[in-house]
Structure 1
């Protein structure tokens, strides 16, 4: 396992003073090993300052024993990067293929020892081809799913030969990309990274002219409905966000999506004015359950869907009280597509001892009840779903009637207190937030927005399994993907889960 060994622990944990001209310098030494234990030789190591131009960048190369040394380093915080011979992408301290979030703090004088182990990684080599003809397309870009940027073929860039190599932790991923030849459009493909191997994948870039078309109508009259919003959300995306594609119907009720990525989509539809209720578009009409929504797969050319039939709107209303005392409480009430990170995109209403949720289609719905603080420190209650359920699947279903109001009261529970040590500093330089996910549904069930003090505190409804992630990129104990994280069962007794690497 990677380790950070220090001469004088206080040198790392105390605040680092700004670098001053003529300040004393330190020596940084380290040993880099492969997962097998063999030394990692001929690896170029760079130390890049976190304050940009405030300090110089240092570099060294590991010897046959995997050892490296930098002398005369000025005090400050540095990101350490490993450039492996023949690798298309660097590795990062501590032991990561991506997410260079780890920093070390070089003291004003003395010696800092940094030992690390290279992470497991597999290489995926991408080529692109016309989705209809299979003809090779040499100009394209593909996104690393663990990062924000795209990697592109370019005669003068790192990938001049019409393919792109990405290196990732072992696992299965979905990749998006697009052609840059001025003719073709977007693409999507699944591929698996295998430790120590190169696998190959082809991006099926779409020929021009792809269009998804649908007409929105009034179910009773059959008349087209103008100004209705329809949102296309990828099936594999758990929550809506601001980047989902939304189009508005024209005077004839026609909605056109141009150049959607060739993915599988659910459609969310609704119209303003309170006449029509919102819906997930189902195979035979609207539904309030996304799991029952129609799966749409746009292909080359024009894909025409069956008409979307809008039904009249109804409402849900009820009281919100403390389960133990019966006193009214204040929470936010949201549809079960809730995600605090994209909070502005989630349909929600305030609940101040009572709530009314309007504008819903006449289907079965479930609601999330979110206390102040999202179930984190200071929250008097745990996040819960209709009927006090621990997740959206187990939530009670509330039947809405067009033109009517359904009563659904909710009693809030304090839940089970869960805490732990979670900062990972200085090995990982981030301060949260900490997310708790239901292991069976992926629902976010608690959030601690601030773990700078080195710990988190949340409340959870008993009767569920949960996984914990810091900033969504380090999942307990030390995984990038949520699916790999440890699942903990929540009972009625308080318990603690510490992240490894914590140090006082």
Structure 2
């Protein structure tokens, strides 16, 4: 998947180019072509932008540029010698942070720039509005902290730029207009950061707001330093050697690096900023927190004070073993070739999990064969073996073949996904063994009993020769309801209709604010995705425009979403089934613009029956008719959620909440009664005036 490759390279490239004063590149890798990227760079107010570094990097691999130049006095530039390929184009200057075409601040969001040998590709770009974070950093003794790196991160935790302090401790970092937290590393040779003002965790840092062409001051003085040491033993008093010891801000985010224990179980971190920490130990597959705690919320605080050494001693909790056996739930026959978490049976029918800490464990059991995986629990006692028998249901199976509809020839590498009704999501993967072979054959295994509909698409996201489709009895459709329904019984195989792939067309459009007409950064897709999984939806550019290729020649409803706006479907509909859809034609581009509104507010509190929310929480709502996600609210250390939805639709809730350190989830949340003393609700219709309803968390 292209997106994951590009994300892995982000940190390395960003480090090289985001300092504002670009490092002098080594001679770039030669693209050895005759293609050209040219254009003009202007400031945010339209004036020519001179002396801006412009670089071209391989769109797939990123890394160092394959070509670069600087803009002339009139803002023009020209990069020559580029081979036919796809590129990312970046721009950076002394007083301007790195940005990527088209007006993106994250490299993985950059638009693809296509270059062809012998041709010129024109890329004009206005620099995004920029301000500055500036200040002075002092040592704990009041002297300047010279030549230390100062880093700015946005509200989502991504670094957007940085700069070194000078001899007098002063720094100045250009950043896009927005809000940032600022950190620096006061300890030479240590990974530990200090966050302004005088905090050891990013969670406690001040969020500084930066406006266009203005300096926002962020001064600080380095915290004093202490040290941390201790000894780790087994429960029988013998030393634990080669364990990893971590110290992190207590119940908060931050990182110091890790140190090993020596042969006597001793460890030492000689430089630690003063503050309160959690200490964590890892040895093999075992880990725990000081003092003898398995969960972070149960850890004891460790206080480091100035000029002194804080010493902690701990013993690893005793362990036992879990012996897991798996059998066929229908026949009782032993299943061979399964894994219990990361321990496999190696064909013996028994998986022995050793060195398991005392307490209750949840074990995921999965097989190589056609069985449906499941979870089991086991309570481990010291120096004992707990026996666990897991009964697995045989999976159902769907078989079919994939062909070119016009010629009847088999097609390889077409992935077919089986969806239960009301559980349609953009795939989180691209099929694996659910993709057709050279003969067009495909088998979908490990299916629970029920009714399924099939969705087919190319396994190569870049290949848009054939269009996506819902599989009907004799072709394809863009509407799920037209798809053939395949009934699956436990452990039984069923043949599906042949998948007949049509050639593809496209839909393009523009997403705007319904009140102002301003372009929106939005995501557009044929159906919704699990929140937070980064599924490949089309994103709009700076002018709110998008294009989705590789759609079959049918009428397609599209989902439009943008942060703070109500998700809508083609024509402004509340769900896929009521959307009018857009007709796609082979080899042509249809148009589907949409103006989004903020909808109405749906809010309320999470009512916890026992305990308190101790961290991150997520609440989502789904349309009860289609099962599509409508909106999601992420929050932390709070009980209140807020969503924006279109009124007139029935919704149900799902949640994932950290309560006293444990994650509690439900895919069918109970809602507070409509009237006091009445029955709980599992769904509710959103009125035109909005909705306030509490979620009951068990």
Question: Structure 1 length as normaliser, TM-score?
Answer: 0.56
Q: Write the distance in 1 (CA, Å) between the matches of 2:342 and 2:693.
A: 33
Choose from 506, 515, 520 the match for 1:324: 515
Q: Write the distance in 2 (CA, Å) between the matches of 1:243 and 1:220.
A: 25
Q: Write the distance in 1 (CA, Å) between the matches of 2:684 and 2:398.
A: 42
Please state whether the residue corresponding to 2:615 is helix, strand or coil.
coil
Shifted more, 402-411 versus 356-365: the winner is: 402-411
Which digits, 9 at most, give the CA deviation of each residue in 1:156-196, with x for residues without a partner? 789xxxxxxx99xxxxxxx98548xxxxx2324999xxxxx
Q: 1:326/1:54 Cα in 2 relative to 1: closer, same or farther (>3 Å)? A: closer
Q: Write the distance in 2 (CA, Å) between the matches of 1:203 and 1:501.
A: 30
Deviation at 1:279, TM superposition (A): 0.9
Deviation at 1:362, TM superposition (A): 1.3
Deviation at 1:398, TM superposition (A): 2.3
Please state whether the residue corresponding to 2:532 is helix, strand or coil.
helix
Q: How does 1:391-430 map to 2 (within 5 A)?
A: 391-422=575-606, 427-430=612-615
Please state whether the residue corresponding to 1:432 is helix, strand or coil.
strand
**1:321 touches 1:411 (CA, 8 Å); kept in 2?**
yes
Which digits, 9 at most, give the CA deviation of each residue in 1:341-388, with x for residues without a partner? 3332x44342643333221111221111110x3xxxxx2x21112222
Q: How does 1:42-441 map to 2 (within 5 A)?
A: 51=280, 53-57=288-292, 103=297, 128-129=327-328, 134=331, 136-137=333-334, 154=350, 178=367, 185-188=369-372, 203-205=392-394, 213-225=399-411, 227-235=412-420, 237-239=423-425, 240-242=427-429, 244-252=431-439, 254-257=440-443, 260-263=445-448, 265-271=452-458, 273-296=463-486, 297=488, 305-344=496-535, 346-350=536-540, 352-371=543-562, 373=563, 379=564, 381-422=565-606, 427-441=612-626
Higher relative contact order (CA 8 A, sep 6+): 1
Q: 1:403/1:472 Cα in 2 relative to 1: closer, same or farther (>3 Å)? A: farther
Please state whether the residue corresponding to 1:215 is helix, strand or coil.
strand
Q: 1:364/1:313 Cα in 2 relative to 1: closer, same or farther (>3 Å)? A: same
Choose from 685, 690, 693 the match for 1:489: 685
The match for 1:462 is 647
Which digits, 9 at most, give the CA deviation of each residue in 1:244-273, with x for residues without a partner? 545444444x23437x21446543323464
Q: 1:256/1:466 Cα in 2 relative to 1: closer, same or farther (>3 Å)? A: closer
Q: Write the distance in 2 (CA, Å) between the matches of 1:445 and 1:211.
A: 31
Please state whether the residue corresponding to 2:571 is helix, strand or coil.
helix
Please state whether the residue corresponding to 1:387 is helix, strand or coil.
helix
Q: Write the distance in 2 (CA, Å) between the matches of 1:304 and 1:350.
A: 40
Which digits, 9 at most, give the CA deviation of each residue in 1:207-242, with x for residues without a partner? xxx9865432221222333x4421333426432223
Q: 1:485/1:151 Cα in 2 relative to 1: closer, same or farther (>3 Å)? A: farther
Consecutive unaligned residues in structure 2, runs of 5 or more: 1-202, 205-227, 231-277, 282-287, 303-324, 355-360, 376-388, 672-682
Please state whether the residue corresponding to 1:449 is helix, strand or coil.
strand
Please state whether the residue corresponding to 2:533 is helix, strand or coil.
helix
**1:231 touches 1:268 (CA, 8 Å); kept in 2?**
yes
Q: 1:155/1:419 Cα in 2 relative to 1: closer, same or farther (>3 Å)? A: closer
Please state whether the residue corresponding to 2:409 is helix, strand or coil.
coil
Q: 1:243/1:149 Cα in 2 relative to 1: closer, same or farther (>3 Å)? A: farther
Q: 1:302/1:439 Cα in 2 relative to 1: closer, same or farther (>3 Å)? A: closer
**2:538 touches 2:546 (CA, 8 Å); kept in 1?**
no
Please state whether the residue corresponding to 2:371 is helix, strand or coil.
strand
**2:290 touches 2:300 (CA, 8 Å); kept in 1?**
no
The match for 2:656 is 471
Q: Write the distance in 2 (CA, Å) between the matches of 1:416 and 1:247.
A: 40
**2:471 touches 2:497 (CA, 8 Å); kept in 1?**
no
**2:291 touches 2:299 (CA, 8 Å); kept in 1?**
no
The match for 1:451 is 636
**1:423 touches 1:455 (CA, 8 Å); kept in 2?**
no
Q: Write the distance in 2 (CA, Å) between the matches of 1:472 and 1:402.
A: 46
**2:403 touches 2:500 (CA, 8 Å); kept in 1?**
yes
The match for 2:676 is none
Please state whether the residue corresponding to 1:342 is helix, strand or coil.
coil
Deviation at 1:445, TM superposition (A): 1.4
Q: Write the distance in 1 (CA, Å) between the matches of 2:468 and 2:430.
A: 20
Q: Write the distance in 2 (CA, Å) between the matches of 1:473 and 1:335.
A: 32
**1:215 touches 1:249 (CA, 8 Å); kept in 2?**
yes
Q: Write the distance in 1 (CA, Å) between the matches of 2:490 and 2:695.
A: 45
Consecutive unaligned residues in structure 1, runs of 5 or more: 1-13, 23-48, 59-77, 80-101, 109-125, 159-165, 168-174, 180-184, 192-199, 374-378
**1:386 touches 1:396 (CA, 8 Å); kept in 2?**
yes
Question: Structure 2 length as normaliser, TM-score?
Answer: 0.42
Q: Which has the larger radius of gyration?
A: 2
